[in-house]
Amino acid sequence: MVNDNSASRKSPGEGLSVLIPVFNEEGSIKGTLEKIKDAIKNLRVPSELIVIDDGSTDGTGQILGSVQGITLLVNAYNLGYGASLKRGLKEANYPWIFIVDADGTYPIEDLPKLWSFHAQYDMVVGARTGKNVHVPLLRKPAKFILTRLACFLTRKKIPDLNSGMRLFKKQVALEFFHLFPSRFSFTTTLTLACLTNDYLVKWVPINYFSRQGASTVKPINDFVSFNKTIFKVVFYFEPLRFFLWPGILLCLLGLAYGIYQVLTSLPRDLGQFPFILFLSGLQIILLGFIAELIAKSRK
């Protein structure tokens, strides 16, 4: 279903497509859309508002059907956050994309603040590091571990790995379209893909409020999913970082154990195990270099 009231279907040189994935947000969707329309007016750029109803089973669909000035895409059943954003990306007509959740947690009025950096960067992320940030206690340990892991593997400072409020170039997102998962790791994948491919990313501190309605996030399942995403993306773009440290560790263990054997055994000779450790580490490092060459050849 499409309810399209955008001013134009042609892509100008500069313009903004706002994508909002929605699933059972009847309590907050109307207020969210009002805030977005106000924020867009302040930008004074060509724009469109695309809402993707991801198979809502409450009154969200009825509310969206009565809203004017939006392009409404309806999934027949729940496909997931990432799948909805990918569908919205295909429909978007403008070169810049802004995404935000519909649950009332993000300060949509800060959109002009993010937009003010768009000329200098490829992506501008609303980092949830402002003065008023409400993150559920159960999510804090997982969020800390995931962020530290991502920082270690990318060698970049990441204030907020998976913020759902961000502005980015459509062409950049389309470059990594095949990597985006159907569920909640869309933003994590986009962050890591940009950082490992030297795109310019700006982090803008924002507040983060308590959500309206029940959350669909499952901490344990999503923690595992985010971990898989981090390793998959880094392995895809920067495989040497994935192979190098385990290889070096095995080489050092082989050397250390070999020296220990020589110093403590009589007669002073080496067993097979130190050689196995060292050669295994060396093979892993060489495999990393080969994978790195293959990854760089794709760019």
CA distances to 32, 47, 55, 296 from 288, in Å: 46, 44, 43, 12
Residues 279-299 as b or e (16 or more Cβ within 10 Å = b): ebbeebbeebeebbeebeeee
User: What's the CA gap between 243 and 294, in Å, rounded?
Assistant: 14
The confidence score (pLDDT) of residue 2 equals 43
pLDDT band of residue 13 (cuts 50, 70, 90) is: low
pLDDT tens for 195-225 read 999 999 999 999 998 766 555 555 555 567 7
* Superfamily of segment(s) 16-237: Spore Coat Polysaccharide Biosynthesis Protein SpsA; Chain A (3.90.550.10)
Any idea where the domains of the chain sit in the sequence?
Answer: 16-237, 239-298
Mean pLDDT, rounded, for 119-140 = 86
Burial (Cβ within 10 Å: 0-12, 13-18, ≥19) of residue 142: middle
Burial (Cβ within 10 Å: 0-12, 13-18, ≥19) of residue 271: exposed
pLDDT tens for 227-254 read 777 777 778 887 888 888 899 999 999 9
Cut 0.85: pTM above it: no
